[in-house]
Chain A
Amino acid sequence: MSSDPVAHLPHTGPARFVTRALETSAEHAVVEVRVPAGSAYRSARKGGAAGERVPAFLCIEFGAQAAAVLVGARAQLTERPPPGMLVSVRDAEFARAFLDADATYRVTVEARQAAAPLLIFAFEVADGAGNEVARGELTLHVELPS
């Protein structure tokens, strides 16, 4: 399998939001995300405005997938692992309730705590202009191959 950490994500097709990894280290990762065309999370903007929107809480999933990239990079995986599960969220705050569905976002995750198989991460999501649109903390349940 590819050494690209994004290739190890278990999410495929419309469920995959990470398009590329920009940085990875032992404790953090920065990735780029987009919502695929045809995603079930997309809906028309209100009032007949052009374009589509997605709920801002999707940033939690952006963070979870970025965390999965970090986990994969750290473990130097050679094959796709079993899917990790998002098991909890804390203090996820959004600058607005909906986001432009066609924009590209930059997601930063930092490893906070680990008590295997639970891993806690802080995440931040910024738009193309660098403005923060979301931040919070999430916990993944991850069982890596031994």
Chain B
Amino acid sequence: MSTRHEFEPDAAFFEGHFEGRPILPAMAQLEYVRRALAEAAPDRAVVAVLAARMRAPLLPGERLTVSLGALGEQGAARVRFQVLRADEVVTQGVLRVE
């Protein structure tokens, strides 16, 4: 599996996060990763975030791209993800899916 999915974050995710300084929550980024996974592998669901590193915030109006790839010998059970703003990786990590 190696896929890329583009999203325009829903304004609702910015509400209350935070007043006067809106940024897209890390969980909203994971939600778009989940949606990308649901498109690429509808029978799979996230049961662990084995590692994730959030490098930079996403701001209102910025589009994001989710890149997914299966990892090595663990096959489809482990999925590497990246959340990108243009070509910049803002969040990356590894999921376990079932």
* Residues of chain A having any CB pair with chain B under 8 Å: 10-16, 40-41, 55-58, 60-61, 83, 85-94, 96-98, 136
**Cα–Cα, bound, A75→B71 (Å):** 42
Sample of 24 A–B contacts (CB below 8 Å):
A11-B17, A13-B15, A13-B16, A14-B16, A15-B17, A15-B18, A40-B15, A41-B31, A56-B47, A57-B34, A61-B27, A85-B54, A85-B57, A86-B26, A86-B54, A87-B54, A89-B51, A89-B93, A90-B51, A91-B51, A92-B48, A94-B46, A97-B46, A97-B98
Q: Is the interface of A mostly helix, strand, loop or mixed?
A: mixed
* Residues of chain B having any CB pair with chain A under 8 Å: 10, 12-13, 15-19, 21, 25-28, 30-31, 34, 45-54, 57, 93, 98
Are A97 and B45 also in contact (CB < 8 A) when A55-B30, A88-B53 are? yes
